[in-house]
Amino acid sequence: MPPSTLYLWRLRTLYVGYLERRITFSAGAHTLLFGLEDDVLLEVNGETFRARTLLLPAGISFSADSQGKQIGCCFLDPLGRDYLFHQRLMQRHESGSYFASALQDKQLSVLTQAYRDSLEADQVYALLADLLFPAADTTVEGFMPDARIARIIELIRSDPAQNYSNEDLARQVGLSGARLQRVFKEATGIPIRRYRLWHRLFVTSTMMSTGSSLTDAALTAGFSDSSHLSHVFQSMLGMPPSAMLSHSRQNRVLVGAGEPGE
């Protein structure tokens, strides 16, 4: 398969490369998908259509077929600021997704440049501000972050291998367990358990970028073993970990700092 690059930042992840076949996603984050060379064939909630750019909420299952052409796939921030930023710039599709961004031409140009010129993660991040995500100082109309959910996300990130019970987390923010479950899903689109697994994929990917083995990275991130990791990776991203994380001259996994304060 042709070369690919995976960029990892604290709040966002970007993959630029190729899909070997039609795959089904059920991502743990809001997702922005690009056909860098041509339309991607899509199936969302039983609706089949084509698009160059597609925005989907976290937790929704969809199939994508790039027909062997290059794609970009960006997993956005968990609190929904990026999603709201893009929602206002795109057209709503009857499937519940959004397509045809007003920024599409610029987005495709920068993603193509990043891949062509083998740019480093921090260079790409700077180029993508206000294109793939709002810059830190950009006001996103209507975005009202819930400090309680931000606190829960930070707790999970601070110790990803820790299996906090729902009640333990709820006590941290003064809610009942049932109320926290509802509020968390309303804010992020996914249950707490699914977000924890999603973040563990991020931790595993980051560790492998610095030379850890798949098994060591999986255990440190909180998976029971490498088979557990592979199952979650396949379930959420429609492909085995080796397709995105294998180290070779062709595949690059790059970690960037993002913006201060994120």
Question: What domains does the chain contain, in order, with CATH numbers?
Answer: 4-142+239-255 (2.60.120.10), 147-226 (1.10.10.60)
- 127 vs 131: CA distance, rounded Å: 8
195 versus 249: the higher-pLDDT residue is 195
Question: Is the pLDDT at 250 greater than 80, yes or no?
Answer: no
Q: What is the mean pLDDT of the chain?
A: 92
104-116 and 121-128 helices cross at what angle (nearest 10)? Answer: 170
- CA gap 91, 100 in Å, rounded: 6
Q: Can you tell me the mean pLDDT for 115-137?
A: 94
pLDDT at 183 over 90: yes
CA–CA dist 25, 141 (Å, integer): 29
pLDDT at 21: 83
In 3D, which of 83, 12, 20 has the Cα closest to residue 244? 20
Contacts of 35 (CB under 8 A, 6+ apart): 51, 52, 53, 66, 69, 70, 71
> 42-56, 63-77, 198-212 — which is least confidently predicted?
198-212
Alpha-carbon gap, residue 148 to 94, rounded angstroms: 33
- Compute the average pLDDT of residues 6-27: 91
pLDDT beyond 60 at 257: yes
Q: What's the pLDDT score for residue 249? A: 56
Distance from C-alpha of 201 to C-alpha of 237, rounded to nearest angstrom: 10
- Predicted model pTM: 0.92
Given this model, what pLDDT does residue 81 score?
97
Mean pLDDT of 57-70: 93
Tokens of 260: 């201060």
- pLDDT band at residue 26, thresholds of 50, 70 and 90? confident
